[in-house]
Amino acid sequence: MQACDLCHLLVGEPATVPPHEDLAASGIGLKPNRCKADSRWRCMGCGAWMYQSTALGEPPNMWRMGARPQDLAEAGT
């Protein structure tokens, strides 16, 4: 997968920056204590998975690009 420029531009930006127009909401990630860690987004243009982290996310309060959620669950992260 080759991520689009819009997705690359979001990586490392504060989580307060809104998602770009091609990102579709795709759920949330929870910590074991059921606190929200991130909002998950899928780019309809390039297929990239983007994560809008909360203060409990990694990295905290920032946008990151990563593996699809099923792959994260299988890896135990």
Token pair for 57: 């996310």
The pLDDT value recorded for residue 70 is: 77
Q: In the predicted model, is pLDDT for residue 63 greater than 70?
A: yes
pLDDT tens profile 2-61: 999 999 999 999 999 999 999 999 999 888 888 999 999 999 999 999 999 999 998 999
